[in-house]
Amino acid sequence: MRPCVVLLFAVSLLTLCEAQGIIVTPVFVLKGRDLLLKFDADLPEKFSFVDWKFNKTVHLVRFEPSGEPNVLHNSTGGFDFPEKIFSVTLKNLQEADSGVYTVSAVTSKGDKQLAEYKVTVQGPVSPVELIVDRVDSNSSESCDLHVTCRTHNSHINSTFRCVDRVCSQEGGERSEVTTSGASLQVYLLNSTIICNHSNQVHKTQDIDTAEHICSSNAPPFLSRWMIGIIPIPVVIVVLFVFLYYRRRRRISDSRQIVNNTVYEDPQEVTPAPPQNENSTYSLVGLPVPSSTQPETIYATVKKPDRSSND
């Protein structure tokens, strides 16, 4: 029975709103910006004033039927009045200016509400950072990425798996509402990991591609070799061939050294003359090879006979 009562109440409330012709317009504004509250309603035939109120109790501005504004209570940043009659611009909005703004026509029969704006002023969200906590990978073709999407007062952890350049997020998109009312999300879009911090008027992002993270954290070639990607018998054969060609290279280098040996040029040598008191020797000519006897020319000097001198 209770659901029927609730449904009946909702239908009655909707009918009441339609009968009064009130349209509630939600508006989100970035802190420090201006907001134009347009007046687009139809006025009754006989009205005295047009009033703008804040939270239905604070009278902000009263317009004369001619459109002349009278400020009754100033807002944080003040007002501006555009050319469109009965419209108001709220200047330099702050969080304290968030609330409900209504415009009514004052008649002899009472106030007739014409429009309502629910204004929410939000500041910019803080920067966000995508942190790679760990990469479990044996190659650039397959890896598991453990990441954290972090802002100054909140964080989300998530895991992504990539196989043959096709990535997926375990558990789907992760999100939560921060203490400031903003939304913190981490999700995958076309192999790109997106860490997003946003509210209705501002957002910050940090992104990276899953393939880039996998490839930059893949183990080097030698590590993959050592863990068995290349079978041990192949390693033995490669090592044997390497040692064989290295030995051949050493033998070739040693032969080349022998063939390029340079010997010292022969020098001219003069043999010592025979030790003989009665002969004087004179050697003429250059030394000849050892296979032939050197030809020597001697000159003999005879001593005078002592007996003839006497």
List C-alpha distances in Å: 146 to 130, 132, 149: 11, 6, 10
CA 101, CA 24: separation in Å to the nearest integer?
Answer: 10
Output the CA torsion 254→255→260→261 (10° steps).
Answer: 70
* The pLDDT value given to residue 220: 47
Name the fold adopted by 19-122.
Answer: Immunoglobulin-like (2.60.40)
Instruction: Show the DSSP H helices in 204-231 as ranges.
Output: 210-216, 221-226
Residue 188 CB neighbours (<10 A): 17
pLDDT 10s per residue in the chain (310 long)?
333 333 333 333 333 344 355 879 999 999 999 999 999 888 998 899 999 999 999 999 999 999 999 999 988 889 999 888 999 999 999 999 999 999 999 998 899 999 999 999 999 999 999 999 998 876 667 889 999 999 988 999 999 998 888 889 998 899 999 888 899 999 999 889 999 999 999 999 999 988 777 776 655 443 443 444 445 666 687 777 777 777 777 766 655 554 554 444 445 545 555 555 444 444 444 454 544 444 544 455 555 555 544 4
What's residue 252's pLDDT? Answer: 66
> Residues spanned by CATH 2.60.40.10 within the chain?
19-122
SS3 44: coil
Give the separation between CA 146 and CA 156, rounded to whole angstroms: 11
Residue 243 CB contacts under 8 Å (≥ 6 apart), including other chains: none
